[in-house]
Amino acid sequence: MDFVNVHTHQAAVEPNVLGIVNQYPQSLDVTVPFFSVGIHPWYIEPARIEADLRIISDTVALEHCLALGECGLDKRTAVPLELQVSVFEQQLALAEKYQKPMIIHCVAAFQELIELKIKNKSTVPMVVHGFSKNEQVAAQLLKNGFYLSFGKYLLQNPELERVFCTIPNDRFFLETDTVAETIQEVYAVAAQYKKIELKELQKIIAYNFNTVFKDGRMD
C-alpha cells in the first residue's frame, strides 16, 4: 500500500490505501478491513456508557482494530466536561490494557488532555487528529509525546503550512476525516509544504505507521 489515511469516516476500499475507518460502538462493523472504535465526546449517552465500553473492550483486541478512538475532550459540545473526562479515562485504561494507540478528538481542551495523559501514566501512542492550532500548542503536544495528524485544515487553511513545517518528520500523520478530497490530495499538499518528493513522504508516513501501530503492512 502506498498511502496511509490515519482517520477517515469513509469505508470505501482503495487497493493502494490503508485507511483506518472511524467507528462507534453501536454501529460497529467488524468486517471493515482496518478500523478504530471509540466513544466520541459528542455522542456520550450516560445510559449507554457501560455497554459501549464493553463493546470496545471486546473489539479493540482484534488484529484489524488498529486503534481506540476517536475519543477525547471537546469544550464546545453540550456534554459536561466532567462526564467527558470520566469516559475518556476509562478508554485510556482500555488502550493501556490492550496496548492499542489512540485517535484523539480535542477541541479547546489541550491542557486538560495533556494533564490526563500524565495523570494516568499513559504509555500508548496518542494521535491528535485534525490538528489546526498554532506552533505553541503543537510544541506542547509534541513535548508530551503526542503525534499530530493533518488533513482538512491543511487543505483549507494556507496559514497552517508554517505550523506543519515545524513538525518533526517522525511525529505526524495525514488523514481525510470527513472531507471529499482524497488522501492522495492531502499527501500532495503535504509534500509541497515539506518540500520533498511524494515517495519520500510516503516513506516517512510508512515509518510512522509501523512505529505507532506496530504493524508491518507498510514495509
Residue ranges of the annotated binding site are 70, 105, 129, 177
> Phi, psi at residue 66, to the nearest 5°?
-85, -15
Whether 4 and 206 have beta carbons less than 8 Å apart is answered as yes
Exposed, middle or buried by CB within 10 Å (0-12, 13-18, 19+), for 15?
exposed
Spell out a b/e string for 58-84, using b for 16 or more CB atoms within 10 Å of the CB, else e: ebbeeeebbbbbbbbbbeebebeeeeb
Annotated binding site for a divalent metal cation: 70, 105, 129, 177
Dihedral-angle region of residue 130 (phi above 0 means left; psi in -120 to 50 means alpha; beta otherwise)? left
Per DSSP, 150 falls in state E
Contacts of 49 (CB under 8 A, 6+ apart): 39, 87, 90
